[in-house]
Amino acid sequence: MANLNETKQRDQWGSRIGFILAAAGSAVGLGNIWKFPYLAGANGGGAFVIVYFAILIVLGFTLMMAELTLGRHTQLGAVGAFRKLSKKWSWVGGFGVLAGFLILSFYSVVGGWVIKYIVGGLTGSLYTLDFGSYIGTTAEPIVYHAVFMILTLVIVLGGISGGIEKAAKILMPALFVMLILTMIRSLTLPGSFEGVKFLLQPDFSKINGEVILAALGQVFFSLSLGMGCMVTYGSYLSKEENLVSSSMSIPLLDTAAALIAGLAILPAVFAFNMEPGAGPVLLFVTLPQVFQQMPLGSLFGIAFFVLVLFAALSSSISLLEVVVTYFVDEKNWDRKKSTIVMSALIFLIGIPSSLGMGIWGHLTPILENGIMDSVGFITDKVLLPIGAMMLLIFIGWVWGLDNAKKEVTNDGKIPFALFPVWGFLVKFAAPAAIAYIFIKGLPIW
Ligand code: PFF
């Protein structure tokens, strides 16, 4: 089918800083605030952080640049970018759209819990909320899941420069300010140093194949890579933009946010002699108890959960945008229809993840940890690594490094001395490393 939207005027980011904030907004999310501190603490502290950094530097930067370059070159979203250059490869983008769809379905359920906590803070019931039984109830978490999807939808309806960029320009600076304030509060509590040790002291005996795959999945998830999100955001970039520096700034901001979040959360947990705990428990059970014991804790608690909501929204809009752009670019739907229909579908697909916490708790499709974890396993540890590997192979071997070089350097206008290193990584080292980590890390051995 002829593609009307390729000839239509395409929306663009209004400014460089707007784009960086939106892309960093996509990257910084629940993944940084709740997953990173816990994963690091549980998987060898500083040793995990070192593995994370190594993967970030070698694969994170490489892939970030690859995705932005492909998106900007084609000016099309996840699927269209592949289709335009080689139709046979469209399925890789299709994997990405599927991953975005699935991630948002459970991300929004967690976003709903965050809204519930803000409401709890405002109505004075934050400390009496029993998290375990709350998320197991049937109706209310689904209602908050709907509220979160509606907030996401409203921003995405506003479009790229009018909706997503405007939101990111407010949400991101506010988020960093609040994270830093919380970190200072946390680090100045007596006894907080144990938390710093928990996060950073290396224990290399904990590092094995599964931990490395977990770090890889976390780098991709946290940087919004491997599913065409940065291809999509790159497709709204102007040809003047410097891709080299953007590909550096986004991972740097994301990693700063993850470390600051770790230093905001864990020291307080230790200062109050709490168990660091696993997964959502850290954010939704341990932290409210910490706030309860702090001077001005209620205020801090509300501010903190508002901050988490900001982070979650600036990520969820990017997940929805991947799906919406697909239907706009490839199926010629209008933006409004695509946004509304897809939000409704994602909401419906998310319902089992919510019910899996309660009445459907006995259904554990893949792992032993219920529906949400199973969906998370398929996305983080299967779809994202495969999507990332195929995108690199596509750029290295199908589209070709010469073409990529023209796009990365804006036709030779931007110097990029490390291009041969990047090229080697794209063509050989990074796909091989991902394949190796993926195969070694699957819990089937
Ligand atoms: N990067 C987000 C986080 O860390 O919470 C989650 C995410 C957003 C993953 C967008 C993938 C994506 F395309």
CATH of the domain at 235: 1.10.4160.10
- Spell out the per-residue pLDDT of the chain, length 445, in tens: 344 444 467 788 988 888 999 999 999 999 998 888 888 877 888 889 999 999 999 899 999 999 999 999 999 999 999 999 999 999 999 999 999 999 999 999 999 999 999 999 999 888 888 888 999 999 999 999 999 999 999 999 988 888 889 888 888 888 888 889 888 888 998 999 999 998 888 888 888 888 888 888 899 999 999 999 999 999 999 898 899 999 999 999 999 999 999 998 889 888 888 877 666 778 888 788 878 877 888 888 898 899 899 899 999 999 999 999 999 989 999 999 999 999 999 999 999 999 999 999 888 766 667 899 889 888 988 999 999 999 999 999 999 999 999 999 999 999 999 999 999 999 999 999 999 888 877 766 5
- CA–CA distance, 190 with 196 (Å, rounded to integer): 12
- CA–CA distance, 85 with 70 (Å, rounded to integer): 10
- Ligand 1 center from residue 188 Cα (angstroms): 31
Is the CB of 31 inside a 6 Å radius of any atom of ligand 1?
yes
Look at residue 139 and tell me if it is in a domain.
Answer: yes
Q: How many CB atoms lie within 10 A of CB 381?
A: 22
Distances (CA, A) of 404 to 110, 243, 401, 407, 418: 38, 11, 5, 5, 13
- CA–CA distance, 93 with 67 (Å, rounded to integer): 11
Look at residue 413 and tell me if it is in a domain.
Answer: no
- Ligand 1 center from residue 244 Cα (angstroms): 21
- Ligand 1 center from residue 248 Cα (angstroms): 17
Is the CB of 386 inside a 6 Å radius of any atom of ligand 1?
no
Angle of the 335-355 helix axis to the 297-331 helix axis, nearest 10? 130
Is the CB of 229 inside a 6 Å radius of any atom of ligand 1?
yes
Closest by Cα among 326, 420, 418, 329 to 101: 326
Look at residue 219 and tell me if it is in a domain.
Answer: yes
Is the CB of 226 inside a 6 Å radius of any atom of ligand 1?
no
Look at residue 445 and tell me if it is in a domain.
Answer: no
What DSSP string runs through 294-358? STTHHHHHHHHHHHHHHHHHHHHHHHHHHHHHHHHHHH---HHHHHHHHHHHHHHHHHHHHHTTT
Is the CB of 221 inside a 6 Å radius of any atom of ligand 1?
yes
Look at residue 260 in the predicted model and tell me its pLDDT: 93
Tell me the best of 110, 222, 254, 325 to mutate to test the pocket of ligand 1, counting ligand atoms within 8 Å of each CB and taking the most.
222
Is the CB of 315 inside a 6 Å radius of any atom of ligand 1?
yes
Look at residue 132 and tell me if it is in a domain.
Answer: yes
Look at residue 340 and tell me if it is in a domain.
Answer: yes
Number of domains observed in the structure of the chain: 1
Look at residue 8 and tell me if it is in a domain.
Answer: no
- Ligand 1 center from residue 294 Cα (angstroms): 31
- CA–CA distance, 395 with 391 (Å, rounded to integer): 6
Is the CB of 227 inside a 6 Å radius of any atom of ligand 1?
yes
- CA–CA distance, 92 with 79 (Å, rounded to integer): 7
Is the CB of 51 inside a 6 Å radius of any atom of ligand 1?
no
Look at residue 7 in the predicted model and tell me its pLDDT: 47
- Ligand 1 center from residue 417 Cα (angstroms): 30
Domain that holds residue 305: 16-351
Look at residue 312 and tell me if it is in a domain.
Answer: yes
**Runs of H (alpha helix) within 89-208:** 90-123, 131-136, 140-157, 165-187, 193-200
Q: What's the token pair of residue 433?
A: 């490393």
